[in-house]
Chain A
Amino acid sequence: MIIREDLCSGCLECLPYCPMEAIVEDAEAGRATIIEDECVECGVCYRARVCAPDAIYPQDLEWPRTLRMEFSDPSAPYMSPVFEHRVISRLQAELREMDRRQLLDRQGEALTISGRGTVEMKMNDVMGRFKRGRAGLAAEVGRPGVGARFRDVQVVTRALASIGVRFEPQNPLTDLMTDTQAGTLREDILSEKVLSCIIEFDVPLEALAGVLTRMKEVAQQIDTVFAVDLISVVDEDGSIPTVPIAASLGLEPSIAGKTNVGLGRPLASLD
Chain B
Amino acid sequence: MLSLPYRGPPAVMEKVEKYNEICRRHHPINPDRPRAWYIWVFDNRENMQAALKELAEAELGLPVVVSGLFDEVAGCCRRAGTAAHTVNHSLGFWGKTEKLPPREILEITTMCGHGLVAPNLVRHLAEKVRLDEVSAASACQEMRMACICDIFNHVRAEELMGHLVEAIEEGRLAPPQPSREKGVAL
Contact = CB atoms under 8 A, between A and B. Distances in A.
A228 B94 contact: yes
A8 interface: no
B83 A262 contact: yes
A199 to B, nearest CB: 12
Nearest to B116: A44
Given A220-B95, A226-B94, A258 B116 contact: no
A33 B146 contact: no
Interface centre among B36, B95, B148 (most CB of A within 10 A): B95
B65 A261 contact: yes
A24 B73 contact: no
Interface residues of B, number: 76
A15 B77 contact: no
B146 A47 contact: yes
A18 interface: yes
A243 interface: yes
Contact of A262 (B37, B85, B148): B85
Q: Main SS of the interface on chain A?
A: loop
B117 A19 contact: yes
Interface centre among A26, A28, A91, A260 (most CB of B within 10 A): A260
Given A17-B118, A145-B101, A253-B89, A260 B149 contact: no
A231 to B, nearest CB: 5
B61 interface: yes
B61 A264 contact: yes
Contacts of B74: 238, 259
Interface in B138-186: 145-146, 148-150, 176, 178-186
B4 to A, nearest CB: 6
B127 to A, nearest CB: 10
B88 A258 contact: yes
A255 B95 contact: no
B70 A144 contact: no
Contact of A263 (B61, B70, B181): B61
A188 interface: no
Interface string B77-99: 10010111111111111111101
Given A16-B120, A111-B148, A116-B114, A265 B185 contact: no
Interface in A4-26: 12, 15-19, 21-22, 24-26
B55 interface: yes
A233 B86 contact: yes
A263 B6 contact: no
A220 B176 CA distance: 29
Contact of A24 (B77, B88, B184): B184
Given A259-B65, A261-B66, A24 B186 contact: yes
Interface of A: 12, 15-19, 21-22, 24-29, 33, 35, 38, 42, 44, 47-48, 74-75, 89, 91, 107-111, 116, 119-126, 130, 136, 142-146, 195-196, 212, 215-216, 219-220, 222-234, 238, 240, 242-243, 246, 251-266
16 contacts: A18-B120, A24-B184, A27-B180, A111-B36, A124-B85, A142-B115, A144-B110, A146-B99, A212-B91, A228-B93, A229-B88, A229-B90, A233-B86, A234-B87, A261-B73, A262-B84
- Please give me the 9 A-B residue pairs with the lowest Cβ-Cβ distance, nearest first: A262-B85, A265-B61, A108-B148, A264-B63, A21-B185, A219-B94, A253-B89, A16-B124, A228-B91
Interface of B: 2, 4, 6-7, 35-37, 52, 55-56, 59-71, 73-74, 77, 80, 82-97, 99-101, 106, 109-110, 113-121, 123-125, 145-146, 148-150, 176, 178-186
